[in-house]
Every structure is written in C-alpha cells, then in structure tokens.
Structure 1
Amino acid sequence: MEQYDRVLVTQRSDSMPEPSRWEFPGGKLEPGETEVECLIREIKEELSLDVQPLQRLTPVRYTSSSGPIELIPYICKYHHGAINLVEHTAYQWAQYSDLTQYDWCPADVPIVEELLQLKGH
C-alpha cells in the first residue's frame, strides 16, 4: 500500500510463523472471493484501513516450514482509516530506498525486488 511515495510494511508478531520479520500485509483467499476482494477484506480486518488496489505484481510461490504458499501482491493506494494492528506488532511507512534494510520474510523478498525495480531504486 502506498501513500506519499512510501509503502506500508508490517512486522509479524511472536505468535506467527517467521516472528519479528517484516512483510507486506495481506491474507488468504476465501471460497468464491476474488483476489481484489480478498485484499480489501484482509487489509480492513488486519489494519482497519480501506485501500484501492491499482496494479497486480508477479505472484510468488514459496515453500515454508508450514507448507507451500502463493503470494499475489498488488500495489494499492491508501484510501482512508487509522491503522489498528490486530495481528502484527509494528508497522512503518517506509521509503522505497530503505526497503532493503528490513529483515523480510523470505516469500516477500521477490516482491521487494520487483517494487524497487518498478520505482527505479
């Protein structure tokens, strides 16, 4: 999610797999739900924010210790709301140039790389 040329990143809680690592917020598709519907719902549930999906990025397939996952990233625009952390311990509105300094979940690394390419960093 973007706002003022920054991107929202969230830090996983100690009760989640990959604790304390950073990720882009999102979640799992429910039956009959589109990618965009899922994204809007998950961001609302996890962060109390309303977003507008703008651009689909390259999906990432990754096998973690808990099994295979597929991330379907989108660039989104912040629409409105105040951040309320439900599952995460922290958040940052990061500058693109600072993204390489975070301790990312491995599945999110290709998304960071693609974002940096798109933004010319």
Structure 2
Amino acid sequence: MGDVHSIKVVCAILEQHNRVLVTQRNQNMAQPLLWEFPGGKLEPDEEEEQALIREIKEELQLDILPVKRLTPVSYALGDKLLELIPYICHYKAGAIQLVEHKAYQWAERSRLRNYNWCPADLPVLEEYLQLTQLSL
C-alpha cells in the first residue's frame, strides 16, 4: 500500500447577526442533499485562508474574513483521506448566489443540530457550539 492521498479542504463557519450559514449539497454531488459548512479544496501552494476566501467567493459570491482556525477533522472518503480545516469567519460583503449548492440557510446556533449534516462536519459543529456556548 502506498501513501493514502490526503486532500485538504477548508470550510467556513460564517457568522452574521448571531446566525451561521449552512449550505445543502445538490443531488449530483457526493453525499447528496446533506448539509455542510461551505468551502472547498486547497490548490497546490495555496494558504488555507486564501483558499477559503476564494472558494466562498466562487461558490456563494460572498466576501468573508477568516478569523479563527478550529481543529481539523480527518475522514476517509472512498480511498482518499480528507482533512477538513474549519475557520470561524466574519461576513464582509456580497449577496448569496448559489453556484453549486441546492439551498442555504442562515441558521440560529440553537438550531444547528437539527440539520442532516455531512458526517465530517459534525465534529466541527460540536467544537463550534462548545466554543460559542463558552463565550455566551
């Protein structure tokens, strides 16, 4: 067995007015119709924050500011190992236009557990909720 190919993926926990942006994968994507924190893969030699700013602009037409890196989550998807790197982000500008996703919602923190999440996003969600409960 050779090295398992690891793919770095960044995701944004985008906060605005005490709500968090969640996006629903479309029916043609892997893990169809599950909810996730939006983001995408790093390009070679790209900084995590730069990748996240680029991906959110490409997918949602929003300008964001990454402010705090949370604990990365490793998960296996087929024969690949993905590393999901979450950042709490602040909204800067833009109006959402869905390029890839089926739907989006600005969810209240208290309702975030009600969504049908991609498995890899669950540890991110739990860490985020613990952090925000501590800061209340």
Q: TM tier, shorter chain? A: over 0.9
User: C-alpha offsets along residues 65-121 of structure 1, whole Å, 9 cap, x if unaligned?
Assistant: 362211100000000001000010000000111011000000000011001101118
- Give, as a single letter, the amino acid of the residue that structure 1 aligns with 2:104: Y
1:66–1:94 distance in 2 versus 1, CA, 3 Å = farther
SS state at 1:88 partner: coil
- Does residue 95 of structure 1 match 2:117? no
DSSP-derived class of the 1:36 partner: helix
Distance in 2 (alpha carbons) for counterparts of 1:75 and 1:66: 29
SS of 2:33's equivalent? Answer: coil
Which structure has the larger Rg?
2
Aligned residue number for residue 75 of structure 1: 88
Alignment-derived partner of residue 3 in structure 1 = 16
- For residue 69 of structure 2, the aligned residue among 37, 40, 56 is 56
Letter in 1 for 2:31: E
- The structure where strand makes up a greater share of residues is 2
Equivalent residue, structure 2, for 1:84: 97
Q: Which amino acid aligns with 1:109?
A: L
Give the secondary-structure state (helix, strand or coil) at the position aligned to 1:100. helix
1:42 aligns to 2:55 (yes or no): yes
- TM-score normalised to the size of structure 2? 0.86
1:104 aligned partner: 117
Q: Number of residue pairs matched?
A: 121
- The alignment's C-alpha RMSD in Å is 1.1
**Further displaced range: 15-24 or 63-72:** 63-72
Q: Which residue of 1 aligns with 2:33?
A: 20
Moved more, 73-82 or 61-70: 61-70
The answer for the alignment partner of 1:119 in structure 2 is: 132
CA distance in 2, matches of 1:69, 1:31: 15
Structure 1 residue aligned with 2:11: none
Using the TM superposition, give the Cα deviation of residue 49 of structure 1 relative to its aligned residue in structure 2, in angstroms: 0.2
